């Protein structure tokens, strides 16, 4: 059911606060209006476009410096991180990331996004992937946006490893999941 302008704009604000990474296209579909209507609503409400929202969130959240690798080596763009707790990155699938004949993303790009996020979330000078259990749940196509969410789980104390769960989504649909067993240099120091 379509909402009047005032109701729609109120819900639009709430939706963007909950998910600042939602696209104008997704908003238009959600509210059954045109993309132009969403853009006009955002303009009236002084809500910046998606790129600016992502940049703002990233600047605000990246106060903690990633220690385990240079930020430019992370595949995708980290938009939120709390070291040794959680992190989020965004990866836009472009033509160079897909097979030319079917426009499906090559799996190593999705794995690289998840793996580099698992490394980045570790609060240590050295973090390496010792083991990974991964599962691709659906194909990702060109021009889709993949949002990867990492959570640091309990460690495997017998082996001195930290476990990081990474789940990746296109919209609300899961496309990839992985459990990364991370070696970190502080585990070696703690044993000595």
**Residue 32 falls within a domain, yes or no?**
yes
Q: CATH number, domain at 43?
A: 1.10.10.10
Q: What integer pLDDT is reported at residue 143 of this predicted model?
A: 94
Asked if residue 117 has pLDDT above 90, the reply is: yes
**Residue 55 falls within a domain, yes or no?**
no
**Residue 154 falls within a domain, yes or no?**
yes
In angstroms, rounded to a whole number, what is the distance separating the alpha carbons of residues 51 and 44? Answer: 18
Reduced 3-state DSSP string for the chain = CCCCHHHHHHHHHHHHHHCCCCCHHHHHHHHCCCHHHHHHHHHHCCCCCHHHHHHHHHHHHCCCCCCCCCHHHCCCEEEEEECCCEEEEEEECCHHHECCCCCEECHHHHHHHHHHHHHHCCCCCCEEEEEEEEEECCCCECCCEEEEEEEECCCECCCCEEEEEEEEEECCEEEEEEEEEEEEHHHHHHHC
Q: What integer pLDDT is reported at residue 19 of this predicted model?
A: 81
Q: Which residues are CB-neighbours of 155 under 8 A, at least 6 positions away?
A: 161, 162, 163
**Residue 54 falls within a domain, yes or no?**
no
- Alpha carbon of residue 114 to chain centroid: 9
Query: Which range among 28-37, 134-143, 154-163 shows the weakest confidence by mean pLDDT?
Result: 154-163
pLDDT tens-digit profile of 90-114? 999 999 999 999 999 999 999 999 9
**Residue 178 falls within a domain, yes or no?**
yes
**Residue 58 falls within a domain, yes or no?**
no
Instruction: Count structural domains, the chain.
Output: 2
Q: CATH number, domain at 133?
A: 3.10.129.10
Q: Give the residue numbers spanning the domain of 177.
A: 64-191
pLDDT tens-digit profile of 141-188? 999 999 999 999 876 555 678 999 999 999 889 999 999 999 887 755
């Amino acid at each position: 059911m379509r909402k009047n302008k005032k109701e729609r704009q109120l819900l639009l604000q709430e939706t963007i606060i909950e998910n600042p990474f939602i696209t104008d296209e997704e908003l238009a579909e959600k509210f059954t209006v045109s993309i132009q209507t969403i853009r006009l609503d955002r303009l009236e409400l002084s809500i910046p476009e998606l790129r600016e929202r992502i940049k703002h969130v990233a600047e605000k959240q990246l106060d903690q410096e990633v220690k385990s690798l240079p930020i430019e080596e992370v595949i995708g763009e980290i938009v939120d991180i709390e070291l040794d707790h959680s992190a989020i990155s965004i990866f836009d699938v472009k033509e160079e990331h897909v097979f030319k004949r079917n426009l499906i993303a090559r799996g190593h790009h999705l794995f690289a996004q998840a793996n580099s996020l698992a490394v980045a979330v570790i609060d240590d000078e050295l973090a390496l992937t010792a083991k990974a259990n991964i599962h691709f749940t659906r194909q990702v196509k060109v021009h889709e946006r993949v949002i990867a969410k990492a959570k640091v789980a309990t460690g495997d104390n017998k082996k001195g490893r930290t476990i990081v769960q990474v789940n990746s989504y296109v919209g609300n649909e899961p496309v990839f999941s992985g459990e990364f067993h991370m070696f970190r240099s502080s585990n070696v120091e703690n044993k000595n």
